[in-house]
Structure 1
Amino acid sequence: MTIYTTDRLTVRMWTDSPADVKRLDDIMSREEVTRWLPGAVPPAADLVPRYRAHSEPDPTLGVWAIEERESGVVAGTILLKRLPNGDDEVEVGWHLHPDMWGRGYATEAARGALERAWAAGIGEVYALTFPDNHPSQAVCRRIGMSHIGQTDRWYGVQAELFRVERAL
């Protein structure tokens, strides 16, 4: 199921297909990806249902596959989900396969996620990065986010906090 498209990407639900599970496993088994994630990463077969569950009860939100439109190759994951504190704060984030880095896909997918948030009436969106994750911080800046400072509020690890508000 397609969630949204951009010039070069289709953002869609993750499926239980062997191809999706294999690609997600390839992404999430790479140290250069997981070093930026707090905690252990479960097997891909367990992640797919968790990712789909983020779209229930609010289909505006989710954790979705980023697919190159031309090739059909899954580049990674884009997320637009509530932060884990029970409030209404929403986070945008991305995890791309290293063979897809440097193509602007994180920026393009994140811009699409923000457009989705704004269309749903969400007023502000946050992003969290590890302090030394300079590439993701650059994506935050490219999508118009402002650096707020450091926090350990949501995931129990020190993170750089970024925020963007919907333009009125």
Structure 2
Amino acid sequence: MVVFETDRVLVRDWLDADGDRVFDIYRRWEVSRWLGAAPRVMPDRDAASAAIARWNERSRTAPYGVWAVEERATGTVAGTVLLVPLPDPSDGSAGRGEVEVGWHLHPDAWGRGLATEAARGAIEHGFKAGIGEIHAVVRPDNIASLAVCRRLGMRPAGRTSRWYDAELEAFLI
């Protein structure tokens, strides 16, 4: 199912057929090094299938989701965009209604504005659903994602380890 569209991408639920691409994205250290409190690469193709199942389960609670970013021109999955509740720092459950936007793209999709375009669409999707503000959290040395936050018009909110067990730069729009 298509969740939203922009000029160059369709943002949709993941398909089982996307598993090879998911594995190709998340098996790469240059992508995975920025993700999670203890970054690690995806170990095998079975892990990609399991990730797709988890992501599609998370996408059943509108307006939230972890979605595929498909390039209109080629039909290639460029990566992932997400709009999800931030975790409660004490127990990892859904927190105080705070929402995060994020993006993870394959290196062959870097440098073309697709992360900004997909994230902007996710933010608009959230605002249309009544979400009042949306956060992004980025590792301080992830120059590319810091630039995406600026292009999105997000304002810096300082460093925090509030939501994840890592010190991150927080942004808000």
Residues matched between the structures, number: 161
Contact 2:4-2:12 within 8 A present in 1 as well: yes
- Alignment-derived partner of residue 31 in structure 1: 29
| More off after superposition, 33-42 vs 147-156 | 33-42
Equivalent residue of 1:139, what SS?
helix
Structure 1, unmatched stretches of 5+, are: none
2:101·2:136 contact (CA, 8 Å) conserved in 1? yes
Which residue is equivalent to 1:15? Answer: 15
> Partner residue of 1:113?
122
In the alignment, the residues of structure 2 paired with residue 152 and residue 46 of structure 1 have an alpha-carbon distance, to the nearest angstrom, of: 28
**Paired position in structure 2 for 1:81:** 84
Which of 41, 61, 66 is 2:64 aligned to? 61
Matched residue type, 1:84: P
Q: Any stretches of 5+ residues in structure 2 without a counterpart? A: 89-93
Q: What TM-score results when the alignment is normalised by the length of structure 1?
A: 0.93
Partner deviation per Cα, 1:55-74 (whole Å, 9 max, x = no partner): 23x22110000000010000
CA distance in 2, matches of 1:124, 1:59: 16
For 2:125 and 2:56, how far apart are their aligned partners in 1?
A: 17
What displacement does 1:155 show? 1.1
Number of the residue aligned with 1:5: 5
Deviations 1:98-150 (A, max 9, x none): 00000000000011001101100100000000010011011001111011100
**1:49 has 2:43 as partner:** no
Q: Is the 8 A contact 2:63 2:126 kept in 1?
A: yes
- Identity across aligned pairs (percent)? 53
Q: Is the 8 A contact 2:81 2:102 kept in 1?
A: yes
Q: 2:91 is matched with which residue?
A: none
Question: In structure 2, do the counterparts of structure 1 residues 44 and 51 end up closer, same or farther at CA, with 3 Å as the change threshold?
Answer: same
Please give the alpha-carbon distance, in whole angstroms, between the structure 2 residues aligned to 1:50 and 1:124.
Answer: 25
1:94 aligns with 2:103: yes
Output the CA distance in 2 between the equivalents of 1:26 and 1:100: 13
Question: How large is the RMSD of aligned CA atoms in angstroms?
Answer: 1.0
Give the partner amino acid of 1:54: R
The ranges of structure 1 where at least 4 consecutive aligned residues each deviate by more than 2 angstroms after the TM superposition are: 39-42
| Equivalent-residue separation in structure 2 for 1:28 and 1:102 (angstroms) | 18
Deviation of residue 41 (structure 1)?
5.2
TM norm structure 2 = 0.90
